[in-house]
Amino acid sequence: MSSKTIPVIERIMGANDRVALSNREILDRHGIHAVNVMASPGAGKTSLIASTVKALDSRRAVGVIEGDLASTVDTDRLRAMGVTAVQINTGGQCHLDANQVREGLNALPLDKLDIVFIENVGNLVCPVGFALGEHTRLGISSVPEGDDKPHKYPTIFANIDVLIINKTDLLPYIPFDMPEFHRLVRGLNPDVRIFELSCITGEGIDGWAQWLVDHTPKP
Amino acid sequence: MHELSVTESILDIVCRHADQAQANRITRIHLVIGELSSIVDDSVQFYFDYLAKDSKAAGAELVFKRLGITLRCENCQHQWEPPSADWTCPSCGIARARVETGREFYVESIEVT
């Protein structure tokens, strides 16, 4: 049986990327700044969103799309603060994809929002490979995770726009070479914007909140 | 990178192209994967064998062309292949690198009968 070769040259992430682009168009039409929040479980994704909402002090209206394998723990916490949040339970999928975010966008009152946080599934590996339509890819590292994470997870550090180093209140107790951490991250990602802060004490939050305000169109 | 949804996407792409070419069977699939994509070849073949069972691509062999990471130093324009995730330029010692190759992730071609 004769065989022939057919050229394809098609990106494997093409289908997801097309939906992501369409999500982005919807967000832009509503003047919304979307932030994809990615980090290991426990690094402080929900805490950061909660602290940011407090620090924004109604300067911008926030909505949240919550991604988790199961439960509504994070959504409940945010709703108790008065934040508009929708829950996406992925079942087993270890990251959010563009289709799921579209579901979330359909359920949010987009006309009333300026910022949408997309809290991704806790995972330092998979989420960064899936475009969602976001404007800002935000990664969170936390001090207790250690300062060697850029060595071990270069892909996420190389592909984010903003890096937040959370739990700086623990620096007196945990060996963490901050200048070396910055140097490693900057090596992988020359343009990344880095904020050091502590959600629990509030230190550094205002600087980050101001950046967000400056990068989100006025309502 | 996530092997299952990646595999589903590959299957969708190759079957569509085989249909367009009115081919009956896909025997081999050529993939170009940059090192920054970090999927595990054996896992993808494993998922593929399972998912492709009743399709035109049943039994197709996946061939992975791995492209390494090459970087360009933003400071001195030196190009090199980094031995680790420490992207310090070996020429000028500054750590500010741009990725030249390594992000590729596509189906290059299929062999059909």
The answer as to whether B96 is a domain residue is: no
Structural domain boundaries enclosing B54 = 3-68+101-112
CATH number of the domain at B20, please.
3.30.2320.50
Other Cβ atoms less than 10 A from the Cβ of A71: the count is 11
Tell me the per-residue pLDDT of A174-192, one tens digit each, with 9 for 90 and over: 999 999 999 999 999 999 9
Please write the tens of the pLDDT for every residue from A48-63.
999 999 999 999 999 9
Compute the average pLDDT of residues A109-129. 95
Nearest to A15 among B12, B27, B86 (CB): B12
What local confidence, expressed as pLDDT, does residue A64 receive? 98
Contact at CB, B84 and A151, closer than 8 angstroms: yes
- Identify from B32, B33, B86 which residue to disrupt to test chain A contact, counting A C-beta atoms within 10 A and taking the largest count: B86
Q: Which residues of chain B have pLDDT under 50?
A: none
- What's the confidence (pLDDT) of residue A116? 98
Let me know if residue B78 belongs to a domain.
no
- Return the pLDDT at A1: 64
pLDDT at B43: 83
* Contact with chain B for residue A5, Cβ under 8 A: yes
Chain-chain contact of B111 with A3 (C-beta, under 8 angstroms): yes
Rg (CA), chain A: 18
Residue B23 maps to a domain: yes
Closest chain B residue to A150, measured at CA: B85
Interval A102-107 mean pLDDT: 97
pLDDT in tens, A147-158: 999 999 999 999
Residue B86 belongs to a domain: no
- Chain A residue at shortest CA distance from B4: A93
pLDDT (mean) for A87-103: 92
Any domain includes B27: yes
Residue B44 lies in a domain: yes
CA-to-CA distance for B12 and B57, rounded, in angstroms? 10
B76 belongs to a structural domain = no
Query: Residues of chain A with pLDDT > 70: what percent?
Result: 100
Which of B86, B105, B112 faces A12 most closely, judged by CB atoms? B105
Question: Whose structure tokens read 């992000």?
Answer: B103
Give dist(CA B17, CA B7) in Å, integer. Answer: 16
What span, in angstroms and rounded, lies between the C-alpha atoms of B58 and B55? 5
Any domain includes B73: no
pLDDT for res B102: 92
Tally of domains in chain B: 1
pLDDT band at residue A114 using 50, 70 and 90 as cut-offs? very high
| CB atoms near residue B98 (< 10 Å) | 15
- Domains along chain A? 32-214 (3.40.50.300)
Confidence (pLDDT) at B3: 79
Q: What is the pLDDT of residue A80?
A: 95
Tokens (6 digits) for A215: 């990068």
Q: What is the reported pLDDT for B38?
A: 65
Q: What are the beta bridge partners of residue A62?
A: A115
pLDDT at A129: 87
Q: What is the ipTM of this complex?
A: 0.86
Q: Is the Cβ of A42 closer than 8 Å to some Cβ of chain B?
A: no
pTM: 0.89
Distance CA A183, CA A147 (A): 11
Q: Which residues of A touch B113 (CB under 8 A)?
A: 1-4
